[in-house]
Structure 1
Amino acid sequence: MSKENSKVLLGSGLLLALASSLYCVVPVLAILGGVSGAASAFSWAAPLRLYLLGATALVLGFAFYRAYRS
């Protein structure tokens, strides 16, 4: 696998990490911004959180393995 593919895997892992953190970040930003309705906009992500965290760990682990194996 080339260096470019490793970067793609690392990027997808970071994207999955961002998606799984929506569950925690959006309510905090809504409280700070004073918009309580924005917190419920991402309530659909709550049941998917465990799967997103698992997918993030797998993709990041594989990307680091591919990047640093020598």
Structure 2
Amino acid sequence: MSEAVEAQAGALVEIRLARQAILTRDSDPLVLWAIISERALRSGALLHGAARHVHHPEVRASCGP
């Protein structure tokens, strides 16, 4: 891997970890609430693996028609 690609990958990882830290911080964690259409769930548009991965007390998901 070239240095530029490695640097970009490292930067993306840092950004992702920073976003994750917002949900898991001890003081005033961000609450994420997502409304997902039933059609998106049925069509497979939502990555099922990603949906199953989100098990966190500050993340709420609702399904509607």
- Taking structure 1 as the reference length, the TM-score comes to 0.40
> Greater strand percent: which structure?
2
- Taking structure 2 as the reference length, the TM-score comes to 0.43
Between 1 and 2, higher relative CO (CA 8 Å, sep ≥ 6) is seen in 1
